[in-house]
Chains A and B, each alone.
Chain A
Amino acid sequence: MTTVRINDSDVDLPEQATVVDAVARTTGRELTDAGAPVDGGRLGVAVALDGEVVPRSRWATTELGAGHELEIVTAVQGG
């Protein structure tokens, strides 16, 4: 197991977990390697790893390690 910081909380993930795994776990939706929801529709979510945006195309190949800080954001009401 490795402990990653997701949206300011410690989350235990399996070794060699990727951004796809972290997003699937956070949103509770099953995702393809391309980062698309298996149940169809758009996900509407973006990810920053240590302050840098990780494009969806790189989610499946970006491994997470101890001490990584992940922000998973979405659209909310505002403006």
Chain B
Amino acid sequence: MESSALRIGSYSLLSRLIMGTGGITDLSALEKALVQSGTTLTTVAMRRYTPETKTSVFSMLERLGIDVLPNTAGCYTVKDTVLTAELAREALETDLIKVEVIADERTLLPDVIETLEATEQLADRGFTPLVYTSDDPAVALRLEQAGAAAVMPLGAPIGTGLGILNPHNIELICSRAAVPVVLDAGIGAASQAALAIELGCSAVLVASAVTRAQDPTAMAEAMRLAVEAGLHSARAGRIPKREHALASSPAAGIINPLEDLT
């Protein structure tokens, strides 16, 4: 089954697996993992230029033909978020922006009030905002109305690997959204990426799960296969859940029917 390109605003996303680049120091290991993941869109953060950082990640992604998705990680306010997004657009020549406004350092949970306002302002300024948010279905709808090109609810807090803590909410967000839903944050294992797609998500963003795995390249491949499996599974039409068992073998012709035993 061909997985057709996903439209996010006017952008065509070819692979449903968006990757992050944080959490790994060895750039060649990161490169191997990115290639193995098959990703076509990968996040970067915006920071002050230093002789050490140079532009190595950007050059690498450009060389690999992977589009960049700048994020606003580290922003706490609308003002910082908008400035960071404007700098990213100028530096990287893309309208795509992953809006990430966090409430505090300890939980890294999104501040949805600031996020909503930032989304509205960025949409007005011509950005294509992909918006990191909580798994609250009401907030997801508000973000969509504010101009989010995609909503990105968390499965669990960033870097925890706890998976999808509230699958019901994720399913509800997906069932009502008119824009793509991308599961962002919390994934630790490939099965959780497959689940996200089965619940109705259009794509999955994975960072730490790959970059901090013992074997990032192997985990990248697992994630690619999981997203593909999830797409097949979601399109195949799963059986309804039942209260009690439903035999798949025929009841007729059993050699010792139950009534003979009484």
Contacts and interface: CB of A to CB of B under 8 A. Distances in A.
Tell me if chain B binds chain A: yes
A74 B53 contact: yes
Interface in B62-76: 62, 68-71, 73
Interface string B162-201: 0000000000000000000000000000000000000000
- Residue with the highest number of chain B CB atoms closer than 10 Å, among A7, A26, A42: A42
Given A27-B49, A78-B43, A41 B21 contact: no
Contacts of A73: 46-49, 87, 91
A51 B54 CA distance: 22
Contacts of A78: 20-22, 43-45, 47, 71, 73
Interface in A43-77: 43-48, 51, 53, 55-56, 71-77
B207 A79 contact: yes
Contacts of B57: 75-77
Given A42-B62, A44-B92, A75 B83 contact: no
Contacts of B24: 77
Interface string B82-104: 01001111111100001010000
A71 B48 contact: yes
A77 B48 contact: no
Interface residues of B, number: 40
Contact of B83 (A45, A48, A74): A48
Contacts of B98: 79
B21 A79 contact: yes
B90 A46 contact: yes
A21 B86 CA distance: 21
B11 interface: no
B49 A26 contact: yes
Given A41-B59, A42-B62, A44-B59, A76 B91 contact: no
B121 to A, nearest CB: 14
B55 interface: yes
A45 B55 contact: yes
B51 interface: yes
Contacts of A74: 46-47, 49, 53-55, 58, 91
B83 A28 contact: no
Contacts of B87: 46-48, 53, 71, 73
B30 interface: yes
Interface of A: 7-8, 26-28, 41-48, 51, 53, 55-56, 71-79
27 contacts: A8-B48, A27-B49, A46-B87, A46-B91, A51-B83, A53-B83, A71-B48, A71-B87, A72-B48, A73-B47, A74-B49, A74-B58, A75-B45, A75-B46, A75-B55, A75-B58, A75-B68, A75-B70, A75-B92, A76-B46, A77-B24, A78-B20, A78-B47, A79-B21, A79-B69, A79-B100, A79-B205
Given A51-B83, A53-B87, 9 more contacts: A27-B49, A71-B48, A73-B47, A73-B49, A77-B44, A78-B47, A79-B20, A79-B43, A79-B100
